[in-house]
Amino acid sequence: MSAAVLAAPSAERRARMIALIQSRGAIGVLALAAIIASLRFPYFATANNFENIGTAASFLGLVAIGQTFVIILGGFDLSVGSLIGLGSVLAAYSVPYGWLPALLVPALAGCGIGLIDGLLIARAGMAPFIVTLAALLGVRGLALVLARNSMVIAQPGIFGLIANGQILGINNLIWILLIGFALAALVLNRTRFGVAVFAIGGNEEAARMLGVPVIRVKVITYMLSGTLAGLAGALLGAHLSSGLATAGQGEELKSIAAAVIGGVLLTGGVGTMAGALSGVLLLGLIQNVIDQIGNLSSYYQNLASGVFLLLAVLVQTVLTRRRA
């Protein structure tokens, strides 16, 4: 009797297939793109090149972790690109006091900006677009005001090693990227905080009715995003041995693009960290391949990324409609 009211098994199987494509499709595309690239470009599938891709992707990756949390929550964070610039400047300032302050000061600055954004969005009910756009402008201005003529980090010491050293023959930045995503996936799927983020993004009113502390979870999520962006800035400073106030321009949009390509729905409530990581790597791979073609201008990279983003959104829209 109850079986009659359950969805027909074939419909359910189709829905599961679609959900699988939505969450894991980007990984498949990434693998496919990597195979094609390695067949076409002999240098592509070398350890050295993979390291290049991974290292270059690590900064965007850290930012994309935070961005993914925020998008699943049902918002987005435009401040993260500027926070990379501010982070690298603050790291250059604080590195004379040791490697720990050089990491912590940018992270705390990002956390503070996230706190302000989060409070304005969650408590004052302002639109995430406006609040974080204001932060994008303000934080970039702050970074430029603070930056001195030369922000070269003369003696990076341990701080430089964090970004440029290796463990087990693999660049530390790649370790940070992978461990960061693994931890993020754990938090997202296996903690009450993560489940609450999904719940708020899925149906904010219902989440409130079900007793989820909506304001607190929102504020913490923006703080997390800001912290990770500040940290990414510090690591970029360490990597380049320099504070660069203009660093990270456009990373806020790239991180949104990476998450969306990875199957994180801009409408909130749906997404995976594995998908977001695939999106980050896919964007990195596009850049890498276009660099290898050699005679192509880097403008083509943006063109290709744009096309990928559009295709990803198109596929998502079609799949979502099918499932409904």
Partner 1 sequence: MAPILETRDVSKRFGAVQALRSVSFALNAGEVHGLVGENGAGKSTLIKILTGFYQPDGGAILLGGEPVHFDSPRASQRLGVSAVYQEINLIPERSVAENVFLGHEPKRFGVLIDRKRMDAEADELLRRYDLKIDPRARLGALGLGLQQMVSIARGVRLGARVVILDEPSSALTGAEVETLFRAVDRLKADGIAILFVSHRLSECYRLCDRLTVLRDGSVVASAATAELPRAALIGAMLGRSAESIHRVRPARVPREATPALETRGLRWRTRVRDVSFAVRPGEVVGLAGLLGAGRTETMKASFGAETKEAGEVRIAGGPVASPTPGRSIAAGLAFLSEDRRAEGIFPKLSVAENLAATALPALARFGFISRKKQDAMVARFTRALGIKAAGPGAPITSLSGGNQQKVLLARCLATAPRAIMLDDPTRGIDVGAKAEVHEAIHLLVEDGLGVLVTSSEMEELMALADRLVVLNEGAVSGALRTEGAAVQDVLDMLAAPHEDAPA
Residues that bind partner 1 (CB under 8 A): 1-7, 12, 15, 19, 186, 189-192, 195-196, 198-199, 202-203, 205-207, 209-212, 269-270
Closest CA to 63 of 239, 236, 269: 236
**How does DSSP classify residue 8?**
P
Shorter beta-carbon distance to partner 1: residue 20 or 35: 20
Of 92 and 259, the one with the shorter C-beta distance to partner 1 is: 259
Burial class of residue 175, CB neighbours in 10 A (0-12, 13-18, 19+):
middle
Cβ closer to partner 1: 3 or 145? 3
Nearer to partner 1, 72 or 151 (CB): 72
Cβ 249 to partner 1 shortest distance, Å? 33
Q: How near is the Cβ of 201 to partner 1 at its closest, in Å? A: 8
- Please report how close the Cβ of residue 184 comes to partner 1 at its closest, in angstroms: 14
Cβ 260 vs Cβ 305: under 8 Å: no
- Closest distance to partner 1 from the beta carbon of 294 (Å): 44
Whose Cβ is closer to partner 1: residue 211's or residue 294's? 211
> What is the C-alpha separation between 80 and 76, in angstroms, rounded?
10
Minimum CB distance to partner 1, residue 181 (Å) = 17
Query: Terminal CA-to-CA distance of the chain, rounded, Å?
Result: 25
Q: How far is the CB of 68 from partner 1 (least distance, A)?
A: 15
Q: Which residues contact 214 (CB under 8 A, 6 or more apart)?
A: 122, 200, 204, 207, 208
- Is 1 or 167 the residue whose CB approaches partner 1 more closely? 1
CA dist 134 to 73, 103, 215, 249, Å?
A: 20, 25, 21, 15
Smallest distance, partner 1 to C-beta of residue 131, A = 25
Q: What is the Cα–Cα distance from 23 to 34, expressed in whole angstroms? A: 19
**β-bridge partners, 166:** 171
DSSP 266-294: TTSS---HHHHHHHHHHHHHHHHHHHHH-
- Separation of CA 95 from chain center: 25
| Residue whose CB is less far from partner 1, 6 or 167 | 6
Q: How far is CA 141 from the centre of its chain?
A: 23
